[in-house]
Amino acid sequence: MENILLRDKVAELEGYFAAGGYRALKKALAMTPAAVIDEVKKSGLRGRGGAGFPAGLKWSFIPGDAPGPRYLVCNADEGEPGTFKDRELILKNPHALLEGMAIAGHAIGAASGYIYIRGEFAAEAVKLEKAIAAARAKGFLGRNILGTGTDFELHVHRGAGAYICGEETALLESLEGFKGQPRLKPPFPAVKGLFASPTVINNVETLAAVPAIIERGGDWYAAIGNGKSTGTKLFCVSGPVNKPGVYELPLGVTFKELLEKSCGGLQEGKRLKAVIPGGSSTPVLTAEEAWLVKLDYESLAAAGSMLGSGAVIVIDHGQCMVKLLQVLARFYHHESCGQCTPCREGCGWLEKLLNRLESGRGTKKDIDTIVSVAENMMGRTICPLADAMAMPAISFVKKFRSEFEAHAAGRCCPPDAPVKH
Amino acid sequence: MAFVTEEFRVKAEKICAKYPKRDAALIPLLQELQKESGYVAEEAMDELARFLDLPYSRVKAVVTFYTMFNREPAGKYHLQVCRNISCHMAGAPGLLARLRSKLGITEGETTRDGLFTLSAVECLGACGAAPVMQVNDEYFEKLDESKLDALLEDLKHGKYPLKG
């Protein structure tokens, strides 16, 4: 099928407009906000950042009678290891995001919005600034959009290096000029978000899908995909495949199809060992579990993992699972914001246990301790970062226990591993 | 004031105007200061705190929380090698080891000539092109040893930005 998001020749305003761009905005501005929200609800569009929350429902939580300003925030703090789709989308089709934001702004009654983009994405931030300036010059953004009396000002805000700011309330704290430490919920951002005002936060990919939904209808979008997982998804594939990259495919495509048809299969001589299907925080699947699994919200949940951000990390037999989990534990320990004890201490504890096992000084008891520490982190913190560490920890040990045991017995890595630590 | 100069103030007011509350501009303004001098000095934090009418502790808390703020002068080229899962599998540890031995420094250090600072960083969000290294604002992708060597030579000869 044709791509909705990753299209050619739409990187600049002229090309985007020539391909029918900003027609959806005009259509949306002639609709009532409630009608726009209904159309998005009908489409079944769900959050593409990782949580998969229905977008239209999120928008409808903004209290209609709340006085004062409302805000729309785009989460472009792409940082979940394995994920690189929003970067590509911003470079290839920035106006779909801007148009989607202007439509969403109209739907929730927000006159201003911010795109919070991770600090490392310098070229991408410049691309967005230029796209905003071009759209404003044509009257698609700013004051009195297309002469309708609707205002929507859009600003780019660059992050400064903190994975945690991808969590929506940490992002709001950061946007307000504080350390990025997540807030307790409730109150939810829809009631009290940015600058204590009602706020909607959506991922880049979610917002960029909105123009097509408005233009072609929620029913059209809902017909794509698999059951309750509607529409297309950007899958980011990394690891030893022939053609790693971002692929837009209908939700429900099998891993096998993605690997063989889109990515040209595994590199020569590599054998599939495991797949992390939705970014480093999602539970790992064995090759057998992954092979025919459908990549959508429900199917991956049924398989014991998650669609997450759509970051498919392919792992071959040359890799040591203990080492990879050690890499992840170091990451989560580094990125824990330090507010909640189970996360702050738990991530560090797991990293130490894995350092010990990986260096050949660990014991069998350490393996059980990893699981018990991880289980005690789950669901006991303000935000899901602790779970994001615990889910890979538990699944790596459960599914590849023999490798952990081999380490505890002093044999470091699987026999065909390329490096001896 | 050495950091919050008249020229800086003009720029700062424009940035503050993007937000309904001035202190929301704290991070963008720190980024501006770092752009000027390559790092955020203690004095700069103090001056910015006064400019925004914030306690110094708030500014310092923010600077120390985010990894992109340098608290010491960095080298002319800040080599930031991603070491997260996809880059790890694609050979990031080897690249880091090569940089350590070629430059004679370890992560967090700067060469004596002030040319290179080496850092290992977490996921840069370019995993399809692993292994990846960021040099100042630019990404260098699908690196291997020979590409890395060529890049270092270019940088030593002042060829930057390389992608123009």
| pLDDT tens, position by position, A10-66 | 999 999 999 999 999 999 999 999 999 999 999 999 999 999 999 999 999 999 888
Mean pLDDT of the residues in chain B: 95
Q: Where are the domains of chain B?
A: 6-65, 77-156
Give the gap in angstroms from C-alpha A24 to the nearest C-alpha of chain B: 27
Residues 6+ apart with CB under 8 A from A185: A169
CA pair distance A132, A141, nearest whole angstrom: 7
Give the gap in angstroms from C-alpha B121 to the nearest C-alpha of chain A: 9
Residue tagged 């950042």 (tokens): A49
Give the gap in angstroms from C-alpha B79 to the nearest C-alpha of chain A: 13
Identify the closest residue of chain A to B63 by CA–CA distance: A179
Q: Is the pLDDT of residue B81 over 70?
A: yes
Say whether A83 and B27 touch across the interface (CB within 8 A). no
- Say what the pLDDT of residue B163 is: 58
Could you tell me how far CA A329 lies from the centroid of its own chain?
Answer: 19
- Say what the pLDDT of residue A412 is: 65
Phi-psi region of B162 (alpha: psi -120 to 50; beta: other; left: phi over 0): alpha
Mean pLDDT of the residues in chain A: 96
Interface with A, mutate which of B18, B21, B27, B107 (most A CBs under 10 A): B27
pLDDT (average), residues A221-226: 97
Tally A–B CB contacts below 8 A: 135
Q: Are A100 and A68 in contact (CB under 8 A)?
A: no
CA pair distance A126, A346, nearest whole angstrom: 38
pLDDT band at A414 (very low <50, low <70, confident <90, very high): low
Sign (positive or negative) of CA dihedral A76, A82, A85, A88: positive
- Say what the pLDDT of residue A413 is: 67
- Tens digit of each residue's pLDDT (9 = 90 or more) over B119-162: 999 999 999 999 999 999 999 999 999 999 999 999 999 887 66
Q: Is the pLDDT of residue B118 over 50?
A: yes
pLDDT (average), residues A68-94: 97
- Say what the pLDDT of residue A421 is: 42
Say whether A120 and B125 touch across the interface (CB within 8 A). yes
- Tens digit of each residue's pLDDT (9 = 90 or more) over A117-131: 999 999 999 999 999
Counting other chains too, the contacts that A266-272 makes at CB distance below 8 Å and 24 or more residues apart are A266/A240, A266/A241, A266/A242, A266/A314, A266/A316, A267/A240, A267/A241, A267/A242, A267/A316, A270/A240, A270/A316, A270/A317, A270/A318, A271/A316, A271/A317, A272/A314, A272/A315, A272/A316, A272/A317
CB-based contact, A155 to chain B, within 8 Å: yes
| Partner residue opposite B128 with nearest CB, options A118, A160, A246 | A246
CB-based contact, A404 to chain B, within 8 Å: no
Lowest pLDDT segment from A243-247, A292-296, A318-322, A406-410: A406-410
| Partner residue opposite B134 with nearest CB, options A79, A120, A158 | A120
CA pair distance A31, A205, nearest whole angstrom: 23
Chain A 203-242, residues with CB within 8 Å of chain B CB atoms: 236-240
pLDDT band at A420 (very low <50, low <70, confident <90, very high): very low
Residues 6+ apart with CB under 8 A from B38: B70, B73, B74
pLDDT (average), residues A185-191: 96
Residue of A144 and A420 predicted with greater confidence: A144
The token pair at A76 is 């472009």
- Tens digit of each residue's pLDDT (9 = 90 or more) over A372-404: 999 999 999 999 999 999 999 999 999 999 999
Query: What residues of B are in the A interface, CB distance below 8 Å?
Result: 18, 20-21, 23-28, 30-31, 58, 61-62, 65-69, 83-86, 88-90, 93, 122-130, 134, 137-139
CA pair distance A110, A105, nearest whole angstrom: 5
- Say what the pLDDT of residue A64 is: 85
Say whether B129 and A244 touch across the interface (CB within 8 A). yes
Residue tagged 């595994």 (tokens): A266
- Say what the pLDDT of residue A416 is: 44
pTM over 0.90: yes
The token pair at A282 is 């999602």
The three-class DSSP label of residue A391 is helix
ipTM confidence: 0.96
CATH T-level assignment (fold) for domain B77-156: Glutaredoxin (3.40.30)
Give the gap in angstroms from C-alpha B63 to the nearest C-alpha of chain A: 9
| Partner residue opposite B86 with nearest CB, options A87, A176, A239 | A239
Identify the closest residue of chain B to A311 by CA–CA distance: B127
Q: Are A216 and A45 in contact (CB under 8 A)?
A: no
Q: Is the pLDDT of residue A340 over 50?
A: yes
Q: Would you say domain B6-65 falls under CATH 1.10.10? A: yes
First to last CA, chain A: 46
- Say what the pLDDT of residue A1 is: 74
Interface with B, mutate which of A87, A238, A276 (most B CBs under 10 A): A238
